[in-house]
Amino acid sequence: MGELLVQDKSIVVPGEEVAAGMDFLPTEGVYRDGDKLVASRLGLLAVDGRLVKLIPLAGKYLPKRGDVIIGKVIDVAISGWRVEINSAYTAMLSMKDATSEFIARGADLTRYFTFGDYLVTSIVNVTSQNLVDLSMKGPGLRKLPEGRIITVAPNKVPRIIGKQGSMVSMIKDATGCKIIVGQNGIVWLQGEPGQELIAVAALRKIESESHISGLTDRIKAFLDEEARKLQIGQSPIAHSASGGIVPQR
């Protein structure tokens, strides 16, 4: 008979024994050592029936098959492109997955994607050695046009998107910006100057306050307030939009 050694939703540290016995099954961030389950990261423990999962508090993006992410082309190779994906690993987009067009032997690959291009792309495979394969074939996968790129904490991405995309749609509707959120924490935005700044500030607000309840209502109030300020001509949230989270002083 197994038992939990720590409470559900408590914070655990790497190496901490979280459950004993064979009844519990380790999933993300948890591994089995003998008949015990041990945490491998710092985070919140989430128990779902027999499954024990660990929601990390922070960390780099871990590539997962099927994720739609935003990546930056950092190299053009002989038969594909190397893409930076805000992770510890870089990904490879091979020629055959890049386009449905026929690419002749020896063609100049920079005609399709070149250094510094940002792509919306999906992960088709992650090997045990963490080699990541990308594909551009699928709905909405494309090279991104002009816009702003910001990086948010990857573990906050689900909160930014919201249930069935409710949170990000709310920001889109309120600001009229185009927003694409990659699972790896890279976000692309395009909009009118004042509106885009509000969208960026809203994203930062979600990132820093996602653990406090009533997030949706607060973000809604924030968007309304900023829209009102913009209408009466006050400069909205200047200075705080660039870079990471601005420390409170």
Partner 1 sequence: MNEFLKLHIVKWFEKGKRYDGRSLDEFRPVVVEYGVTKNAEGSARVKIGDTEVIAGVKLSVEKPYPDTPKDGNLMVGAELLPLSSPDYEAGPPNEESIEVARVVDRGLRESKAIDTKKLCLIEGEKVWMIAIDICTINSDGNLLDAAALAAVAAVQDARFPEYDGKVVNYKKLTDKKLPIARLPLSITVMKIGDYLFVDPSIEEEKVVDSRLTVALAQDGKICAMQKGGDAPVAIDDIGRMIELATVKAAELMARLKR
Comparison of 182 and 236: residue with beta carbon closer to partner 1: 236
d(CA 188, CA 245): 17
- The CB-of-132 to partner 1 minimum distance in angstroms stands at 21
Q: Using a CB cutoff of 8 Å and minimum separation of 24, what contacts does 172-176 make?
A: 172/199, 174/198, 174/202, 174/223, 174/224, 174/227, 175/199, 175/202, 175/223, 175/227
**Interface contacts to partner 1, rule CB under 8 A:** 116-118, 144-149, 190, 192-194, 197, 235-243, 246
Q: How far is the CB of 16 from partner 1 (least distance, A)?
A: 31
- Cα–Cα dist 171/219, whole Å: 9
Give whichever of 24 and 113 is closer to partner 1, judged by the CB atom: 113
* Residue number with CB closer to partner 1 (30 or 230): 230
Q: At what angle do helices 215-231 and 193-209 cross, to 10 degrees?
A: 160
Query: Closest approach of Cβ 245 to partner 1, in Å?
Result: 10
Paired tokens of 81: 């492109």
The minimum distance between CB 193 and partner 1, in angstroms, equals 4
Cβ closest to partner 1, residue 12 vs residue 241: 241
Q: Which one, 43 or 191, has the nearer CB to partner 1?
A: 191
**Secondary structure, 3-state, 160-221:** HHCHHHHHHHHHHHHHCCEEEECCCCEEEEECCHHHHHHHHHHHHHHHHHCCCCCHHHHHHH
Nearest CB to partner 1, comparing residues 36 and 148: 148
CB of 242 to partner 1, least distance (A): 4
- Concatenating the DSSP letter of every residue in 12-45 gives E-TT-EEEESTTSEE-TTEEEETTEEEE-SSEEE
Nearest approach, Cβ of 217 to partner 1 (angstroms)? 25
Identify which of 142, 180, 162, 183 has the alpha carbon closest to the alpha carbon of residue 60. 183
